[in-house]
Every structure is written in structure tokens, then in C-alpha cells.
Amino acid sequence: MSLFSRPTPEARGLGMTSQRARDRLIDRLKSNGIADRRVLDVMRRLPRHLFIEEALASRAYEDTALPIGQAQTISQPWVVARMTEALIEHKLPAKVLEVGTGSGYQAAVLAALVANVYTVERIEELLRNARRRFRKLGIENVRSRHDDGKLGWPEHAPFDAIMLTAAGEAIDPILFDQLALDGILVAPVGVPGAQRLLSYRYDGKGWVSQSLGDVSFVPLLGGLG
């Protein structure tokens, strides 16, 4: 598991020039209710500017979503922090499935906290760029796959936690089938303009959701791009 202590020289130099901006971002996250020190410490160290196009690097530490191409975005830092915080609130999962690799930023945050991250991305170009970033940062505990994320990754189930980084109108039962009964699933759910961030846990009879607030995500699509 990498804690971003030994990235490549290129990544290390870029990150150092942005440390003050990262610190200001962490202060904003704290003021907006993010309290888990583990999450804040990881996001303070992780160079978010490496996960976006160079033309947008000056905006990397704003608390906002940014385009990454292919009609996709890198999520707002507050949303990344809140989803991660919810995922590890009760325990640190050993094995996490992420549906929607995107830029790779959320997977990188998770990789600093849990032993094994499995991430699935339907758009090959995005996945190729994310893999390059993982290598640059020395992240070795992320396994990635070009596939339809709505199908999960059944060969490695059950997972202790599952996170969706795009929004569907409901959670496909196939994902709950891949989740351990004592696990947690965190996902945005709903139609555009009316999405809520939900966490699901098993209560002995079924999967029960808890709302974590209103959000806005790109739609969860099936197939390959």
C-alpha cells in the first residue's frame, strides 16, 4: 500500500509546489464537516493536480468537480471525502470495489487507506490514463479492469465495501450480491437534478439505505466506451 511517500521524482516535485493549496483545501473540507483525520491526511498528501489535464492544474485544489474528458468529471473533493469517510466509518474494509475509475483520484484515496482496491472503468482511454497515474505515484494495491462496471467484478467477491462514482436510478441487485453481509455500499442514486448520496448496510432482513445528502454526478452507464 502506497501512502504517497515515494512517488516518482516528477510527481514529487509537482506535489511540493502545491502543498499550500492542498492545505487550504483541507481547511475548507474541515469547515464543511469532514472530520475523519485519516481521510483528511490522505487528501492533504495526494496531488490532485496529477489527475486532471495540465490546463486545469491551477484549479486542482478548488472544492469543485472538473472535466476529465469523455463527458466525465473528477468529483468535487468534498464529495470524495464524504464518500470515503462513510465507507470507513465503522471499520477499515480490506477489499473495496469501485465502479467507475474515472481519473483514478478516488481509487488513489482509497488505496492509501485499505489493503486492496478493485476498480472497473467502461471507458478505455480514462482507464489507461488512470493506470499511468497509479504508476507515477507508486500505487501498487489497485487492480483495474476495462469492463461494464454495472456488472461489478464477481471473480473477486465478496467485497467488504463497494463505491459507485456515477449515479443510477437504483442500485443493481448484482452489486449487492457481491457485497459481504457486514459490508457497506456508498453510491449516488437518482435522476439528474434529484440525486442523493446513500449508504447501504444489511440489517438482517435486507439492505437499508441512509441519506448522506444531495449530490450531482454523471449518469451510470452500461456497456463499454
How many other CB atoms are there within 10 angstroms of residue 112's CB atom? 23
1 within domain boundaries = no
Q: Express each pLDDT in 65-105 by its tens digit.
A: 999 998 899 999 999 999 999 999 999 999 999 999 999 99
Over range 3-29, report the average pLDDT: 66
pLDDT more than 90, % of the chain: 81
Residue 211 has pLDDT above 70, yes or no: yes
220 within domain boundaries = no
Residue whose C-alpha cell is 484549479: 59
52 within domain boundaries = yes
How many domains would you assign to the chain? 1
Q: Tell me if residue 87 falls in helix, strand or coil.
A: helix
* CATH number, position 189: 3.40.50.150
51 within domain boundaries = yes
Q: Express each pLDDT in 115-124 by its tens digit.
A: 999 999 999 9
Q: Tell me if residue 120 falls in helix, strand or coil.
A: strand
| Active centre residues (catalytic) | 75
pTM: 0.90
149 within domain boundaries = yes
Give the integer Cα–Cα distance in Å for 133 and 22.
18
Cβ proximity of 199 and 86 under 8 Å: yes
* Upper half-sphere CA count for residue 60 (Cβ side, 13 Å): 26
Cβ proximity of 175 and 197 under 8 Å: no
Instruction: Calculate the dihedral angle through the C-alpha atoms of 85, 88, 90, 93, rounding to the nearest 10 degrees.
Output: 170
Q: Which residue has the higher pLDDT, 51 or 12?
A: 51
The answer to whether the bond into 158 is cis (omega within 30° of 0) is: yes
2 within domain boundaries = no
Domain that holds residue 189: 9-215
- Would you state the pLDDT for residue 66? 95
Handedness of CA 59, 38, 130, 221 (dihedral sign): negative
| Average pLDDT in the chain | 91
- Would you state the pLDDT for residue 218? 86
How many other CB atoms are there within 10 angstroms of residue 145's CB atom? 16
Closest CA to 96 of 119, 74, 75, 79: 119
Give the integer Cα–Cα distance in Å for 59 and 54.
10
Residue whose C-alpha cell is 464524504: 82
- Would you state the pLDDT for residue 13? 43
136 within domain boundaries = yes
50 within domain boundaries = yes
Give the integer Cα–Cα distance in Å for 69 and 126.
8
Label the pairing between strands 179-189 and 195-202.
Answer: antiparallel
Q: Express each pLDDT in 142-193 by its tens digit.
A: 999 999 999 999 999 999 999 999 999 999 999 999 999 999 999 999 998 8
